Structure 1
Amino acid sequence: MDIVDRLARLRELDKDFTVFGADEHEYRSSPMSEAEVEEFERWMTVPFPPAFRNFLLTVGTGAGPEYGIQLTRDEAGTPEPGGQFPFTLADGKRMRAEQREWQRRSPPSFPFHLTIGSVPGCIAIAELGCGGFAALVTTGELAGRMWESGEGLWGPVSGAQRFDDWYDAWLTDALSKLDR
């Protein structure tokens, strides 16, 4: 079953929008045209990673994890989507380990705080709630992978997932909860 079919299945199963954020996007998406995708790439000064670009053309913005997939012209203040993403996967794993250790020992606030708007080479594509965002890395060795920020955390999404794996994991989880 492809993504569009799985979204239709979610819409059928979750008429009351019990999955977090579904009341915002209602499992609806609007595919973008090639011209619209190219316009965003020019505006952001960076080509989108292939999996995300294909997603925008076939599924589009709207339905997705938390409050849904969004692209806006006021992109969370990202200074340079086409700039060099400054972190490696090793950096991300180290930062996550440090954050977990800090939270284990201290109140849930971490002295190291980056927001998507302060990091070049990525764009916010989904609001996670409570000020958190999911970011798509657009440049460097991690282009196409998902990172997240929120509540003092900044680092790779679990397993440093690529966009398509991240989206698939959300679909799988939401469907498994509703199919029960």
Structure 2
Amino acid sequence: MDKNVENLKNKLFKLIDLDKGFEVFGAESHKYTINPCLSEGEIQEFESNFQVKLPYEFRNFVLKIANGIVGPGYGFLGLNIDNLMELKSSESDFFAQSFCLQDEWNDLDLLQESNGSKASAYFDQKFIQGSIAIAEYGCGIQARLVISGEERGNIWIDDRTNEGGIYPLTSHCAAFFHDDPEMDTYMYESVEETKEALSFYEWYENWLNRAINQVLQFG
């Protein structure tokens, strides 16, 4: 078995064992429910229908750990195959098209041209094509996994609802999104900023490490 999968499993069960009081954000509602894994056949059917090959780390996670589980924000969403299969034929190539961004993007001029309308070009789906939503951080902020294009396998943030644009979830961003929201902002100032997005394993392990530390420190 993939050593990374074993490592993530060990840390996950350590967190579940430690957090008896459901102190980690979201734990009080999900109570560490672990959804069943997908089968190889289910994944292959999805890949065949949408002409994509899911990134290895994500694919391995939903095969061997869970297809939806406690995680960053309100939890790791997994791959909702039933809902995705209902997409219109005109939308079926959304995942196969290459994710078009390589650097952070926030063209507010597009938003101003339509007076902030959600139908504006600023919210065009083309900016997130080739990606799937894997977590909700609240206030409309999504974590998305890129599954097609040069950024394949990496995590990006869609914060257009708050006029924050779309940008890679770097280690610096993770320090903000994955720490206890009650912590003072000065704690983030020493985090070295990098422009490289985290991979799926890095993203989930980053959250696990911080969640475990939170329980040990404040639980």
TM range (shorter): 0.7 to 0.9
TM-score by length of 2: 0.65
TM-score by length of 1: 0.77
For 2:43 and 2:60, how far apart are their aligned partners in 1?
Answer: 10
The one-letter amino acid paired with 1:35 is G
Say if 1:87 and 1:117 are closer, same or farther in 2 by CA, change over 3 A: closer
Q: For the Cα contact (< 8 Å) 2:100–2:127, is it kept in 1? A: no
Q: After superposition, what is the alpha-carbon deviation per residue over 1:51-99, rounded to whole angstroms, capped at 9, x for unaligned?
A: 1111111112222111212222445x8x4011111111xx22xx37x89
1:149 matches 2:158: yes
Larger CA Rg, structure 1 vs 2: 2
Q: Find 1:166's aligned residue among 186, 199, 203.
A: 203
Say if 1:142 and 1:133 are closer, same or farther in 2 by CA, change over 3 A: same
More moved, 39-48 vs 61-70: 39-48
For 1:16 and 1:149, how far apart are their aligned partners in 2?
Answer: 31
Runs of 4+ in 1 over 3 A off after TM superposition: 42-45, 111-118
Tell me what 1:27 maps to. Answer: 32
More moved, 111-120 vs 127-136: 111-120
Tell me what 2:3 maps to. Answer: none
Structure number with higher strand proportion? 1
For 1:116 and 1:179, how far apart are their aligned partners in 2?
Answer: 41
For 1:86 and 1:64, how far apart are their aligned partners in 2?
Answer: 27
5+ long unaligned stretches in structure 2: 1-5, 109-119, 171-195
Alignment of 1:9-158 (within 5 A): 9-29=14-34, 30-61=36-67, 62-70=69-77, 71-72=79-80, 73-74=82-83, 79=91, 80-88=94-102, 91-92=103-104, 95=105, 113-114=122-123, 119-150=128-159, 151-153=162-164, 154-158=166-170
Aligned-residue RMSD, C-alpha: 2.7
Q: For the Cα contact (< 8 Å) 2:100–2:129, is it kept in 1? A: yes
* Displacement of 1:115: 7.1
Tell me what 1:104 maps to. Answer: none
